[in-house]
Amino acid sequence: MNLIAAIESRLGTGWSIVDELGTGATSRVYLARREGDGERVVVKVMKSGVASAERSRYFVLEMQVLQKMSHPNVVPITDAGEAHELLYFVMPYIEGETMRHRLQRNGAFPIHEAVRIARDIALALGHVHSHGVVHRDVKPENILLSPGAAILLDFGHARAPAMSGSESREDKKYIVGTANYVSPEQVSGRRIADSRSDLYSLGCVLLEMLTGNLPFAASSARETMQKRLDEPPPDVRSTRPEVPDEVALILKRALVIDPAERYLTAGQMADALSSALELIPVA
């Protein structure tokens, strides 16, 4: 029995894999549909040949993280197991597109929509952080824009209490995340990423939604990360003067280099974004 057949067997009678949605360094993502009612689910499977102890641990951690999440802005897990000697987990299929696809197609977002999406993700992060989990890879590729809500995806780089001290030491040795959104403290290696690192990344995402430009963009990933330590964050109103003071202040606080000067919690940032939303007309 091949992998696809094994997955279909685990899903149950009437289920079939109909498409491959994407592939990463360690996993493949498939779309499955059930004959009859047409229900669809997404199946994430660890790739063959990459199931080292470390990568298996992170894949299992992602399953464990998502299994205990229950929030409208966080993608849930509905099932998990092993197929063809590979780990997999199942998530509901949600209509929509990633923020990255939307940015590539349309550029900058309307201000009210950008702030609403950032508020949704701040609420998601508040729920995630309440479970002791740090996402560590908040970026447009990992945000799904579904009708009426933004949903946080992909916990493949997450840190959770289950992770050991040896892994904490590895966090200081290697930068985990994506160059355009990683926090200054991760770049410098002086501290392990905590919840405030996620808020910095969300600030980068909001800035990109409002301007259509990558924050701190440079010719290489190394230069991009170094700019976070050497330069103040871009002023959103130099590109988009109509952004309200309240939103500019949220960005300034989220993107400050010292994590102690950022919002203390995702809930605080969500509250600030909600208050700003009340003052912004819907485009």
89 secondary structure, DSSP code = E
Does the pLDDT of residue 155 top 60, yes or no? yes
Which pTM value belongs to this model? 0.88
Interhelix angle 111-130/195-211, rounded to 10 degrees, is 170
What kind and span of H or E run contains 163?
none
What does the pLDDT average to over 164-169?
46
Does the pLDDT of residue 171 top 60, yes or no? no
pLDDT higher at 167 or 39: 39
Residue ranges, comma separated, of all CATH 1.10.510.10 domains in the chain are: 97-277
CA angle 99-273-152, nearest 5°? Answer: 35
Residue ranges, comma separated, of all CATH 3.30.200.20 domains in the chain are: 3-92
**If one looks up domain 97-277 in CATH, what number appears?**
1.10.510.10
pLDDT tens digits for 193-250?
Answer: 789 999 999 999 999 999 999 888 877 878 888 888 888 888 999 999 999 999 999 9
DSSP states along 58-82 = HHHHHHHHHHT---TTB----EEEE
Coil, strand or helix at 41: strand
Strands 143-146 and 149-152: antiparallel
3-state helix, strand, coil in the chain (%, to 5): 45, 15, 40
- Annotation says 137 is catalytic: yes
Nearest to 170 by CA among 42, 253, 37, 58: 58
With bands split at pLDDT 50, 70 and 90, how would you rate the model's confidence at 116?
very high
Domain 3-92 architecture: 2-Layer Sandwich (3.30)
Round to whole Å and give the CA distance between 15 and 41: 10
**Average model confidence (pLDDT) across the chain:** 86
What kind and span of H or E run contains 92?
strand 86-92
19, 79, 137, 194: which one is catalytic? 137
